[in-house]
Structure 1
Amino acid sequence: MSIQATPSLSPAPSFPSGTPADVPAGRQRVVLDTNVCLDLFVFRDPRWAALQAALEQGSVEAYTREDCRSEWLAVLDYPHLPVTPETKPAICAEFDRLLRCLPLAQVNTFGLPVCTDRDDQKFLELALQCQAHVLVSKDKAVLKLGKRTVKRGLFAIVPPQLWRADAFLDAAI
């Protein structure tokens, strides 16, 4: 089995200030973890069709960050995924079109719960950074923190099957 070089992908556009641009009132800000993105952009899981449609229609504003996007790009190279050198550019382009990429920024994480999986802490920090209403995740360690983030007035954390476009708007900071 030979490994072929992956075509170079351009960096995602980002906000110069490290914070989200103005989002119209009533539009939900969401953060999607890597597994949810795989379901949406690689596996095309029909159970998350409403979320996909909301992203496409712009009725929700989805965010990623440079480190989260780097993880996404690395995961796409896992050999067990149905991603080929021919399909990867289109998958990446769709991700970049539908998720707004923020630069790494110093965020005051006081009050933010700490995830037992260090690799997933960046999604919590991103949700705080972009003042997300909701973090959509399939990760058990992240989902366990949902009650705490809501109780602290930060953001909701839900699995994709509980996500709704018209919910969680009062969950953000």
Structure 2
Amino acid sequence: MKPVVVLDTNILLDVLVFDDSRAHPLRAALMAGSLDAVATQKTLAEFLDVIGRQQFLLSQEKQDEIMFQWRSWSRLINDEVLDIAPWKCKDRDDQVFINLAYTLKPAMLISKDKMVLKIAKRAQKDGVVITSDHNRVFSDDFSLKTAEL
């Protein structure tokens, strides 16, 4: 069974826009299809909004290419079927990522957002690993949890 992974917008930026070297193994796993990367229309819309911002200086063609790449790597889940996680994030825009990981548990949510990371200990008790480590999905502790189910 492939590990279920939810990537927050800032991690997607590392993988698809900034070419962050820390994200290279994650990118390779996404390209190989060895992860069950999941998204929803809301998470796609947020990512599209962010990469369209002036600060990134991305042409419409480049934005389309980036979105095509992410959609080709990810499995789309309907926002309407998401369970509501018992933990709330102070940043409402990030709640959809939390709910998505909670719905598909055991799952990993990779995010650098401080508000999301604050709920990591509580989430782990319910089968959701929240981390800022791009490559924690490859660690034995996460692989063992997903293999047991």
Fold shared, TM-score > 0.5 on shorter chain: yes
- 1:70 is aligned to 45
Q: How do residues 1-173 of structure 1 correspond to structure 2 at under 5 angstroms?
A: 25=1, 27-109=2-84, 112-151=86-125, 153-161=126-134, 163-167=136-140, 168-169=142-143, 170=145
Amino acid aligned to 1:53:
A
Structure 2: which 5+ runs fail to align? none
The 1:78/1:64 distance shift into structure 2, 3 A limit, reads same
Larger Rg: 1
The 1:86/1:161 distance shift into structure 2, 3 A limit, reads closer
Cα distance in structure 2, aligned partners of 1:50 and 1:96: 19
Contact 2:6 / 2:97 at 8 angstroms: preserved in 1?
yes
Q: What is the CA distance between 1:91 and its match in structure 2?
A: 0.8
Report the number of matched residues: 146
Contact 2:25 / 2:135 at 8 angstroms: preserved in 1?
no
TM-score, length-scaled by structure 1: 0.77
Structure 1: which 5+ runs fail to align? 1-24
Secondary structure at 1:67 match in 2: helix
Contact 1:31 / 1:64 at 8 angstroms: preserved in 2?
yes
Secondary structure at 1:114 match in 2: coil
Amino acid aligned to 1:82:
L
Cα distance in structure 2, aligned partners of 1:161 and 1:58: 16
TM-score, length-scaled by structure 2: 0.88
Identity %: 32
Amino acid aligned to 1:143:
L
When the two chains are superposed, the root-mean-square deviation of aligned CA atoms in Å is 1.9
Q: What is the CA distance between 1:124 and its match in structure 2?
A: 0.3
